[in-house]
Structure 1
Amino acid sequence: MNYFITGGTGFIGTHLTKLINELHPEAKVYNLDIVKPGTPLPTVKDYKSPLKDGETLKSEFIYCDVRKPIELNVPASSEDIIFNFAAVHRTPGHPDHEYFETNIRGAENVCAFAEKHGIKKIVFTSSIAPYGAAEELKKETTLPTPNTPYGISKLVAEKIHTIWQAKNEKERQLTIVRPGVVFGKGENGNFTRLYWAIKGHKFAYPGRKDTIKACIYVKELVRFMLYRLEHHEEGVELYNCCFEPAYTIQHIVEAMKKVTGLNSTVFDIPNWVIMPAATIIGAMGAPMGICPARVKKLQISTNICGEKLKNSGYQFRWTFEEALNDWFEENDRKWLK
């Protein structure tokens, strides 16, 4: 059995590959990506790899642009598994058309590759973005109302995968996961920026402390994916992936401070102060990623319900604080990167 991971060089793909190597050392893992492992991403400032110093990704790299039909000179069979992670996802950060070109065309080409080789199992990493930005609690049954090009493209990609499964619904297995904020080594995202902002005394609560930010540890996410492959025989299943209940930004900040030994005081800045300041800072080049769009994003809750995951039979390996501590250990208890 082979594992094909589109976007395998990325954050989640790297952690999944390491887990497969650990649990199924006999399996062949193919990394289908346009970026070789260990290559700094030009779109990410101060990029940090998910791999430790001197560590190599134990998979076979194959240059593959999912925006084009996928033709590989490697054996593939109906027993193989596809993890489709390839995506343009940072938002804001890309022209609108790039989200559609990669996320929609990529879904079409991945499903066509599965169709061609009779592959029966796909795990697709979507996003909570299809729900749209709103304070209300979102369950898997909530009607999606995406309001960004990224969210729209991900919802369409979900439907493309669902159509693939419906063509042979008695045999094909599709798992769609909608993760909250995924954190861990090599994230290069929200949690990393938050840590360094707190450490550098540059973070303040942007107008409120009770903003809910659903999140999940990357190692937990990839373990859950493999768990579902073993406990899902056919059909389509959809899971929000986050701790249940989801945590507030204040809880996240205090836990991060506790685990890493930071003693910084975090203040609460009123909205009437922070938005004009963000506009000025954004005009100066947005140091620390500060700009009006990102501040506004911070102020809106990602109030995602993880109850279905909690009741799925999967046993979480880490609590939230334990996950932060494990990440801290991955960095020799020096920092979070």
Structure 2
Amino acid sequence: MNYIIFGGSGFIGTHLIHLLKDECLKPGDKIYDLDIVMPGEEGVVPGIVEKNEGVEYIRLDVRQAIEFDFEPTKDDIIFNLAAVHRTPGHPDHAYFETNIRGAENVTAFAEKHNIKKILFTSSIAPYGAAEELKTEKTLPTPNTPYGISKLVAEKIHQMWQVKDEKRELTIVRPGIVYGKGEHGNMTRLYKGQKKRYFFYAGRKDTVKASIYVKELVRFFKYRMIDNDFVGTDIFNCTFEPAYTIEEICTTMQKATNMKRNIPLIPGGLLMFAASVLGPIGGKKVGIHPDRVKKLMVSTNICGKKLAASDYKFHYTLEESFRDWFNDCNKEGLF
């Protein structure tokens, strides 16, 4: 069988490839990493430069019609991880070009080769920014180009599935995904605490739904390899209940042997500082208006459906931070 990973050179894809190689490959199986960039190139997971033996790396742009040489089998699985996702960071049109066109081309490829199993990584962004708890049944109300593009991409994948009742589609909406090579929100949070420039923005009880990258790819394996099903299912992928920013900071400090007292700064004052520092390099340390706003608004995502499934979590929050810390030789979280 073939494991076909679109966007496999990125953060989540790199960890998925490691898991597939370590636990899933059987004689004759193949892994394809199809991405516009290759491991070690600028813009790929920092610090991860090597290619994995036994993986076929093919440079491919999902914005274009997809074709490459391979031998299809009846058991092939597509993991569609390809996306433009950093916010802020891209012009609005970039999210639509890659995320929507990519969904169209990936599902067309699956249809052409009669591939019946797709896992699509969406986002919690389609829910929109609001304090209310969101379940998989919550009406999506995206308010960013990224969130809108992801919701449309979900619908494109669902349209592919309903054309054949035997097709299997899993849509995952992960919270903040963190772990080695992330270089995103959690990495900035660690550095901010370590260097004493992180402050609670107006409150300490902001809910931040999150999941460890190794946990997330294990759920991929559980859904697509360990089980068979038909139809479409959507899962919020996050700890249940989701943790507050204070709980995350306290646990991160404990797991990495750090002791810090984090001040609480009025939100208005921090926004003013961000508006002044943002244009002159504040983005590098997270002092950016868009990021400060994100700190002040909860991502209150319900993970009860995942918790009630047969999938068993492998890591607590503290264990996940310790594992990440160990992966970095206890030198930090990066």
TM-score normalised according to structure 1 size = 0.95
Residue 275 (1) aligns with residue 277 (2)? no
Classify the secondary structure of the residue corresponding to 1:238.
Answer: strand
Residue 102 (1) aligns with residue 104 (2)? no
| Residue number in structure 2 paired with 1:120 | 116
Aligned pairs (5 A) from 1:22-171: 22-26=22-26, 27-41=29-43, 48-49=46-47, 51=48, 56-58=51-53, 59-169=55-165, 171=166
| Structure 2 residue identity aligned to 1:217 | Y
1:23 & 1:13 partners in 2: Cα distance?
15
C-alpha offsets along residues 76-101 of structure 1, whole Å, 9 cap, x if unaligned?
23321000000000011111100000
1:117, distance to aligned residue in structure 2 (A) = 0.3
User: Cα distance 1:176–1:88, how it changes in 2: closer, same or farther (>3 A)?
Assistant: same
| Residue number in structure 2 paired with 1:329 | 326
1:238 & 1:232 partners in 2: Cα distance?
15
1:219 alignment partner, one of 204, 214, 225: 214
Residue 317 (1) aligns with residue 319 (2)? no
Aligned pairs (5 A) from 1:235-254: 235-254=231-250
1:99 & 1:239 partners in 2: Cα distance?
22
1:290, distance to aligned residue in structure 2 (A) = 1.6
Aligned residues: 329
The share of aligned pairs that are identical, in percent, is: 60
| Residue number in structure 2 paired with 1:192 | 187
| Structure 1 residue identity aligned to 2:300 | N
1:225 & 1:73 partners in 2: Cα distance?
25
1:309, distance to aligned residue in structure 2 (A) = 0.2
1:206, distance to aligned residue in structure 2 (A) = 0.9
TM-score normalised according to structure 2 size = 0.96
Classify the secondary structure of the residue corresponding to 2:57.
Answer: strand
8 A Cα contact 1:37 1:57, kept in partner: no
| Structure 2 residue identity aligned to 1:8 | G
Residue 265 (1) aligns with residue 265 (2)? no
8 A Cα contact 1:183 1:217, kept in partner: yes
C-alpha offsets along residues 159-181 of structure 1, whole Å, 9 cap, x if unaligned?
00000000002x10000000000
Classify the secondary structure of the residue corresponding to 1:94.
Answer: coil
| Structure 2 residue identity aligned to 1:197 | G
C-alpha offsets along residues 169-204 of structure 1, whole Å, 9 cap, x if unaligned?
2x1000000000000000010000000110001101
| Structure 2 residue identity aligned to 1:48 | P
8 A Cα contact 2:6 2:80, kept in partner: yes
1:110 & 1:221 partners in 2: Cα distance?
21
| Residue number in structure 1 paired with 2:304 | 307
Residue 210 (1) aligns with residue 198 (2)? no
1:207, distance to aligned residue in structure 2 (A) = 0.9
1:144, distance to aligned residue in structure 2 (A) = 0.2
1:291, distance to aligned residue in structure 2 (A) = 1.1
Classify the secondary structure of the residue corresponding to 2:141.
Answer: coil
1:284, distance to aligned residue in structure 2 (A) = 1.2
Point out 4+ residue stretches in structure 1 off by more than 2 angstroms: 55-58
Q: Which runs of 5+ in 1 are unaligned?
A: none
Classify the secondary structure of the residue corresponding to 1:158.
Answer: helix
> Which stretch of structure 1 is more off in the superposition, 191-200 or 260-269?
260-269
1:261 & 1:197 partners in 2: Cα distance?
15
| Residue number in structure 2 paired with 1:288 | 285
1:233 & 1:252 partners in 2: Cα distance?
35
| Structure 2 residue identity aligned to 1:86 | A
2:264 & 2:74 partners in 1: Cα distance?
55
1:40 & 1:217 partners in 2: Cα distance?
24
C-alpha offsets along residues 203-224 of structure 1, whole Å, 9 cap, x if unaligned?
0101110000000000000001
Q: Which runs of 5+ in 2 are unaligned?
A: none
Classify the secondary structure of the residue corresponding to 2:4.
Answer: strand
Indicate the RMSD between aligned Cα atoms, in angstroms. 1.2
Classify the secondary structure of the residue corresponding to 1:154.
Answer: helix
| Structure 2 residue identity aligned to 1:282 | G
C-alpha offsets along residues 88-117 of structure 1, whole Å, 9 cap, x if unaligned?
000111111000000000000000000000
Classify the secondary structure of the residue corresponding to 1:252.
Answer: helix
8 A Cα contact 2:286 2:292, kept in partner: no
C-alpha offsets along residues 106-131 of structure 1, whole Å, 9 cap, x if unaligned?
00000000000000000000000000
